[in-house]
Amino acid sequence: MLPPSPLFTIRVEKRAGEWWLNTNSTDFRNAMLSRLDLAVTKGCDGVDPDKVGGDNDNGLGLTQADAVDYVNFLADAAHARDLSVGLENAGEIIPQVLERMQWAVNEQCVQYGECDTWQPFVEVGEPVIHIEYPDGAPNVAAQKVDSICGNDDAKGFETVLKEMSLDDWVEGCPDD
């Protein structure tokens, strides 16, 4: 258990072991630069920062503008290392960061009715990797698969179905 500090703060609601981090901290940003260097060393060609939206009860006073600044900082640093960057689950900042992203990952936009938020990526020719976690997976009724895979708002996305536990089961949607 980590105590609140200038770097860490309150726990992420409903996520055991996760804490909000101060993305404005120089120490934190330097640590992320080291992580990008590690990605290069390991042969990665891209990075996928998650939980970067910033418009939440994070206990640090971070705002959406702070989130945009942090994502743009990461993108610039990644690009300087010839790494691509994807935006994950932070649809509210798409207009401010889209030009620096090479792809997106979205989880459960069909379930939450948010797929249209991610269409700007498709409109500029960038892929959207879309994951849904249907109840009962891997035993998902054909009708449920059809309702996810045939969702008009997710047109142009690469959609897969997974179990929330992220085990090895995956079902892809057929190509249009």
Phi, psi of 140 (to 5 degrees): -100, 130
E-strand spans in 67-172? 84-88, 103-107, 128-132, 158-162, 170-172
SS3 149: helix
| Band of pLDDT at residue 14, cut at 50, 70 and 90 | low
Residue 3 has pLDDT above 90, yes or no: no
Q: How far is CA 118 from CA 88, 127, 154, 173, in A?
A: 10, 10, 8, 18
Residue 147, CB half-sphere, CA atoms under 13 Å: how many?
Answer: 12
pLDDT at 140 over 80: yes
Judge whether residue 13 has pLDDT over 60.
no
Q: Is the peptide bond before 138 cis (omega within 30 degrees of 0)?
A: yes
Q: H-helix or E-strand containing 28?
A: helix 26-41
Cβ contacts of residue 95 below 8 Å, gap of 6+? Answer: 120
Mean pLDDT over 7-35 rounds to 76
Confidence at residue 59, expressed as pLDDT on a 0 to 100 scale: 72
Q: Which two tokens stand for residue 141?
A: 């009724």
Whether the predicted pLDDT of 100 surpasses 60: yes
pLDDT given at position 55: 61
Q: What is the pLDDT of residues 25-48, one digit of tens each?
A: 899 999 999 999 999 999 999 999
Position 175 scores a pLDDT of 72
Look over the chain and give the mean of its residue pLDDT values, rounded to a whole number. 88
Q: Who wins on pLDDT, 56 or 130?
A: 130
**pLDDT level of residue 148 (50, 70, 90 thresholds):** very high
d(CA 67, CA 87): 12
Instruction: Tell me which residue of 31, 66, 37, 35 sits closest to 52, measured CA to CA.
Output: 66
Specify the pLDDT at position 17: 67
Place of tokens 């020719």: 125
Under 8 Å CB-to-CB from 79, ≥6 apart: which residues?
85, 100
Residue 106: pLDDT band with limits 50, 70, 90:
very high
What is the model's pLDDT at position 16? 64
